[in-house]
């Protein structure tokens, strides 16, 4: 049961690592907008996630605090590569058991390649597939799940000076490590960023304030432990994430609250309560 909690926590952390760009972009997942050739993108996310419930009178409470560092680089105008390194603190309180682990979580590397672009004055549409690996850089069973996992997906972005829309589908293949294999996941995400301020753009406008609403749907397959299916794992989760984003010429500050609206998890799987995400991004 504790192991299930750990895996759920690690999965949530991985899902929320969203590299983005210095354009207005989703807070909880990726965008197809470009990283200019030869330019770097740095992003620092701070994420607090809480999962808790009461199972047969036993309180279960897990809080994850993560500092997720992201570095992206524009290799060509179409190809960008990213590295994501999370530093996590996991506080577990399961009945009378208390445990706290801090350290490097599982790092992620991936590449994104633009396959479609249609630009018009003040508007653009981009489509970009991506693929990558999550590496077992965390301590197995504590801050990581010990396996090298692969993922791939497709992002669609439509952007204008007034609003941006992004959507993503992603499939993650989770491999076995030390007899444990987390279930594969498939997720679908959508984000709308609407410019709230300023009403009028002038050449002296240096920043846009966006209102953000995101929806995230994830289908989790059941975990396997020693070849046996864990009945207390897998299911369907859906989240809504309202947020705010301030985008300037060189940096973006943003925050969102990820709230579960569907927690249809199997058996006694621990369900998330909320995630609070704050983030800063820089281009240089």
| Between 72 and 144, CB nearer to other proteins | 72
> Which residue in 208, 216, 163 sits closest to 189, CA to CA?
216
Which is nearer to other proteins, 34 or 144 (by Cβ)? 34
State the minimum distance, in angstroms, from the CB of residue 258 to other proteins.
Answer: 24
Nearest to 128 by CA among 251, 240, 245, 35: 35
To other proteins, the closest distance from the beta carbon of 103 in angstroms equals 34
> HSE of 64 in the Cβ direction (CA atoms, 13 Å)?
33
If the CB atoms of residues 115 and 201 are measured against other proteins, the closer one turns out to be: 201
Q: Say if residues 255 and 243 touch (Cβ distance below 8 Å).
A: yes
**CB-CB contact of 116 with 127 (8 Å):** yes
Own/partner long-range contacts of 85-89 (Cβ < 8 Å, ≥24 apart)? 85/137, 86/13, 86/17, 88/13, 88/64, 88/138, 88/143, 89/64, 89/65
Q: Work out how close the CB of 49 gets to other proteins at its nearest, in angstroms, rounded to a whole number.
A: 29
Give the closest residue to 135 by CA, choosing from 101, 95, 85, 93.
85
H helix runs in the chain, sequence order: 2-16
**In the complex with other proteins, which residue's Cβ is closer, 79 or 173?**
79
Rounded Cα–Cα distance for residues 110 and 266 (Å): 31
User: 259 near 272, Cβ under 8 Å?
Assistant: no
The CB-of-112 to other proteins minimum distance in angstroms stands at 12
In the complex with other proteins, which residue's Cβ is closer, 124 or 143?
124
Task: State in angstroms the smallest separation of the CB of 245 from other proteins.
Answer: 11
**Residue (35 or 64) nearer to other proteins, CB:** 35
Least distance CB 118 / other proteins (angstroms) = 9
Residues near 278 by Cβ (< 8 Å), separated by ≥ 6? 45, 46, 47, 253, 254, 255
- Residues of this chain that bind other proteins (CB under 8 A): 21-24, 33-39, 74, 77, 117, 119-124, 159-162, 164, 195, 197-208, 247-250, 283
Q: Give 46 or 165: the residue with its C-beta nearer to other proteins.
A: 165
| Shortest distance (Å) from residue 83 CB to other proteins | 20
Nearest CA to 218 out of 185, 258, 191, 173 is that of 185
């Amino acid at each position: 049961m504790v192991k299930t909690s750990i895996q759920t926590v690690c999965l949530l952390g991985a899902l929320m690592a969203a590299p983005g760009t210095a354009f207005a972009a989703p807070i909880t997942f990726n965008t197809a907008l470009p990283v200019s050739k030869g330019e770097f993108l740095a992003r620092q996310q701070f994420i607090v996630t809480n999962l808790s419930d009461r199972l047969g009178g036993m309180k279960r409470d897990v809080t994850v605090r993560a500092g997720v560092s992201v570095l992206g680089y524009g290799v060509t105008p179409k190809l960008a590569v990213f590295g994501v390194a999370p530093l996590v603190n996991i506080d577990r309180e399961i009945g009378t058991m208390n445990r706290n682990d801090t350290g490097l979580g599982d790092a992620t590397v991936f590449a994104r390649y633009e396959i479609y672009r249609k630009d018009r004055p003040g508007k653009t549409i981009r489509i970009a597939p991506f693929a990558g690996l999550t590496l077992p850089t965390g301590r197995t069973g504590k801050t990581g799940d010990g396996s090298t996992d692969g993922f791939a997906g497709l992002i669609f972005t439509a952007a204008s000076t007034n609003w941006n829309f992004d959507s993503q589908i992603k499939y993650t293949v989770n491999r076995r490590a030390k007899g444990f294999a987390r279930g594969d996941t498939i997720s679908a995400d959508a984000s709308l960023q609407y410019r709230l301020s300023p009403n009028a753009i002038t050449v002296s406008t240096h920043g846009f304030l966006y209102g953000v609403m995101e929806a995230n749907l994830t289908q989790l397959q059941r975990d396997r432990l020693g070849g046996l299916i864990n009945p207390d794992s897998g299911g369907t989760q859906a989240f809504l994430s309202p947020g705010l984003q301030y985008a300037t010429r060189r940096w973006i500050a943003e925050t969102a609250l990820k709230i579960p609206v569907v927690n249809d998890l199997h058996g006694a799987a621990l369900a998330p309560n909320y995630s609070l995400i704050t983030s800063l991004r820089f281009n240089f």
